[in-house]
């Protein structure tokens, strides 16, 4: 079996990792991943599956047992329910299927599944209690660097409603700090019509203002400035390295930002411009999730154009 770098330290109990480490590392090495990021993805998938096989299912740590179709199917059905986001299950399946093809070439390939269109389903926005828990998660990290980046991640997601790609691409030069707060210029999207300026919510603006003031160069990235790898897994790799729960979900943070503004009565065209949403259809899934206004609220908004009647 091949040898693999043993500096990898996953988020499982150390004693458990010591028990499965050699099996996981050798399996990943023998798959000969093409790049460091591919290797890390395989380590994540393999560690998750092998840990469940050994800890929960009592499956012997042999490749014939661990990487057979039935074991993987059972893991995906039972072992990831509380640990992996639904959208990640198909990715886990793909990675484990790839490992089976490398390690058990005579095995029957896993059937492909059709990815669920997550764009049509709205991830529930965070409640005030959820946001408080995320703040506690960020401030509870064990190193200053992780605390800093955790708070920056929340500020970009909950304070500016950025997508994962936009969070990874934001640079210090994109931040404008003045007496009124912080404005973030979004320029990373390939479609020029999504380039926009986003006023950051006041409660999150001080975090980004501090980042702008302390940065050494306008070209520095706002989130994880010292990370050379800027791929699509930038956020998940960071949150996986953090301690504690719950870790933030970038889709839910953006949904929280959008629905919060809708609930506050911001004009739709202004929100569309700030969110980079190009058509009213793009807002439909958010609007349908808002609670119906009460009659007094409707009268205030419609009969009096949002201007409250002075009390007599």
Q: Which residue has the higher pLDDT, 1 or 41?
A: 41
Q: Where are the beta strands (DSSP E) in 46-201?
A: 175-178, 181-186, 196-199
The CA distance from 233 to 168, in Å, is: 9
The secondary structure of the chain in percent helix, strand, coil, rounded to multiples of 5, reads 55, 5, 40
Q: Which residues pair with 92 in a beta bridge?
A: none
Model confidence at 296, pLDDT cuts 50, 70, 90, reads: confident
Q: Phi then psi for 47, rounded to 5 degrees?
A: -60, -45
Q: Do residues 200 and 160 touch, judged by C-beta distance below 8 A?
A: yes
pLDDT at residue 298 in the model: 79
* Domain segments of the chain as ranges: 14-116, 128-287
Mind listing the pLDDT tens digit for each residue in 40-55?
A: 889 989 998 999 888 8
Please tell me the distance from the alpha carbon of residue 110 to that of residue 96, in angstroms, as a whole number.
9
Average pLDDT over residues 15-40: 90
pLDDT tens string 74-83 = 888 887 765 6
Higher pLDDT, 83 or 295: 295
Q: Considering the domain 128-287 in this protein, what is its CATH number? A: 1.10.443.10
User: What is the distance between the alpha carbons of residues 185 and 196, in angstroms, rounded to a whole number?
Assistant: 6
- Say whether pLDDT at 204 is over 60: yes
């Amino acid at each position: 079996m091949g040898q693999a770098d043993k500096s990898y330290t996953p988020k499982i109990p150390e004693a458990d990792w010591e028990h499965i480490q050699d099996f996981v590392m050798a399996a990943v090495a023998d798959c000969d991943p093409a790049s460091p990021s591919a290797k890390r993805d395989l380590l994540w998938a393999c560690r998750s599956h092998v840990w469940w096989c050994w800890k929960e299912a009592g499956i012997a740590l042999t490749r014939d047992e661990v990487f057979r179709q039935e074991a993987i199917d059972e893991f995906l059905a039972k072992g990831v329910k509380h640990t992996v986001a639904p959208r990640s299950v198909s990715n886990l399946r793909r990675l484990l299927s790839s490992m089976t093809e490398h390690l058990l070439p005579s095995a029957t390939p896993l059937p492909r599944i059709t990815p669920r269109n997550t764009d049509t389903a709205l991830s529930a926005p965070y409640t005030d209690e959820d946001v408080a828990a995320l703040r506690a998660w960020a401030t509870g990290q064990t190193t200053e660097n992780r605390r800093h980046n955790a708070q920056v991640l929340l500020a970009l997601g909950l304070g500016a409603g950025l997508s994962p790609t936009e969070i990874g691409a934001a640079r210090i030069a994109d931040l404008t700090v003045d007496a009124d707060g912080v404005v973030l210029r979004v320029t990373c999207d390939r479609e020029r019509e999504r380039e926009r300026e986003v006023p950051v919510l006041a409660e999150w603006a001080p975090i980004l203002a501090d980042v702008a003031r302390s940065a050494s160069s306008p070209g520095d990235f706002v989130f994880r400035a010292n990370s050379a790898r800027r791929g699509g897994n930038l956020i998940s790799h960071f949150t996986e390295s953090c301690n504690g729960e719950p870790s933030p979900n970038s889709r839910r943070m953006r949904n929280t930002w959008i629905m919060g503004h809708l609930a506050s009565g911001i004009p739709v065209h202004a929100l569309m411009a700030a969110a980079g949403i190009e058509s009213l259809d793009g807002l439909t899934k958010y609007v349908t999730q808002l609670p119906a206004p009460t009659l007094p609220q409707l009268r205030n908004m419609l009969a009096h154009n949002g201007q409250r009647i002075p009390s007599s």
